[in-house]
Structure 1
């Protein structure tokens, strides 16, 4: 049996070194990403999902999910999780693996879409008309959102090199976003609890106030819900079923807004300042919440799937989400 801690610990230590808040701010300000990317690429973790026969680790996605959470916990400003997914899909199809970071996008011909981390990607794996094409990340336009590394991009009709996976590229991206949200939410809970115990008002820490304690408890519950939903989305088959992806992203996206709001309410005005680390994570929670479908979008997909089944709700959940991998 795989020791997940043995896998996560070196990955976490690497991120602590190369993706410290100062390094994240530097990338957001337009700084060079080569050193950070070279460290990640040199670690070998980009091929975690690539089959062993193709030179990768061949890990199940359940083992990779904690790594994706760590990316969110450190606000990594590069498409590391996206590149893991892209390299696995390309390797399975026997396509040569590209160098550099790869973003993910789903777009109709001529349609402008917002691509998370598109400004720092070298390539984009685009799903169009049910097929995938790997294209250069040319023509990326900033969205105008302060600090965001997402890009607005569009493509004319592409010649897809391989079929899209079952459920489409969006389902794969959705479980990644859910894990990123879960990681950032965990980080915000720890930051907010620490601040509440340090910030004194009327001679005692504000964390002793009952109303604030209740808000922190609800915040922690939301973070745990996001983590469990993310783990559930990665626990079954790969690619994940539409129901698993919808459940993971719906729950995580809903938690994102509540966790961010409570973090800012407790920190007060200091939390929105550029000098404070809080906004590095809350900005990402809001961006990841919308990326690849918000909770409303995924709830509609989940509802449509539920209505096609004649089974009772308990049996439906057991069949779709509790089935062994």
Structure 2
């Protein structure tokens, strides 16, 4: 694991406790949190050395993205890392990512707390100011945007911006899954019913075992998506996002089943993570979207399945 991981994790634990996450979701200023992260230098983790960055391999940055999910950081930190790597003259402040279709409204994750959004459209990257409308989803920092695009600032990366965003979402889901599994196991061992912890019940132990399997699968899929560097291959991005998006719904459902009624209360921290799992599951394409691309790529390849997995996915 990168030597940068533990300092980053400790920084997020100090700067982004649940109270801060709730305050930003409620509309309070995110400046203190953003400034603390910006001053740390981690936003330039992927920027090449010749441009003053750390030039970290994507495989190491993957652990930082997972930490963002583990602490439910309500700002586009990973997105800004990517934007700064892609743009020689990226603006200051938080930058969100989005992919535009032929026209119309787009939903931008973290758009309401970003200063700019980096948009891919028809093979070009555009940088636009964020002037969007809220999604009206409780606690969400996403926004709806009809961007006015000027001149493109750069060509889109090979494979497209969506593939890069997909492996970021996979990392965020993996981190949130880690925290969610830890929280749920702790609650199961603390909650006593009929004279013993509910975690002693065999049926619940089975649910927790499946939850742990999903959590580990998300971590491995996220690492696989980042293993080949930036930009990722289509197959790596599709695999990472498909696995993590499919697991996200199961993880959230099991966590709420174990916690019961307390888990759906606004006061409990559980919903900070389960809401994000559902939002990140859909962002940049759900498992259905990526499964179609992955299936098409597999069917167009003449290799046998074992060789294909070994050579195209790994």
TM-score normalized by structure 2?
0.98
Q: CA deviation at 1:237?
A: 3.2
Residue 189 of structure 2 aligns with which residue? 197
Cα distance in 2 for residues equivalent to 1:116 and 1:135: 14
8 Å contact from structure 1 (residues 109, 156) kept in 2: no
SS in 1 for 2:309: helix
Structure 2, unpaired ranges of 5+:
none
User: Residue 178 of structure 1 aligns with which residue?
Assistant: 170
Structure 2 counterparts to residues 208-223 of structure 1, below 5 A: 208-223=200-215
Alignment of 1:126 with 2:119, yes or no, is yes
Q: Aligned-pair distance for 1:284?
A: 0.1
**1:12-91 alignment, distance < 5 Å:** 12-91=9-88
Flag structure 1 segments of 5+ consecutive residues without an equivalent. Answer: none
Task: Please give the secondary structure, in 2, of the residue aligned with 1:63.
Answer: helix
Correspondence 1:290 to 2:312? no
Distance, in Å, in 2 between the alignment partners of 1:115 and 1:157 is 15
SS of 1:56's equivalent? coil
1:267 aligns with 2:264: no
1:100 to 77, 93, 103: 93
CA shift at 1:157, angstroms? 4.7
Q: Among residues 165, 187, 195, which one is paired with 2:179 in the alignment?
A: 187
Corresponding residue for 2:107? Answer: 114
Aligned pair count?
314
Please name the residue that 1:145 is paired with. Answer: 137
Cα distance between partner residues in 2 of 1:141 and 1:295: 26
Cα distance in 2 for partners of 1:240, 1:59 equals 15
Preserved contact between residue 119 and residue 142 of structure 1 (Cα < 8 Å):
yes
Distance 2:10 2:260 in 1: 31
Aligned 8 A contact 2:128 2:147 in 1: no
Task: Note if contact 1:49-1:61 (Cα within 8 Å) is conserved in structure 2.
Answer: yes
CA contact (8 A) 2:101 2:121 kept: yes
Counterpart secondary structure, 1:31 = coil
User: What CA RMSD, in Å, does the superposition of the two structures yield over aligned residues?
Assistant: 0.9
TM-score, normalised on structure 1?
Answer: 0.95
Counterpart position of 1:246: 238
Q: Distance in 2 between matches of 1:136 and 1:307?
A: 41
1:228 equivalent in structure 2: 220
Q: Is the Cα–Cα contact under 8 Å of residues 73 and 186 in structure 1 kept in the other structure?
A: yes
Report if the CA contact (8 A) 1:50-1:58 is conserved.
yes
CA distance in 2, matches of 1:237, 1:80: 19
How far apart are 1:27 and its partner, in Å? 0.0
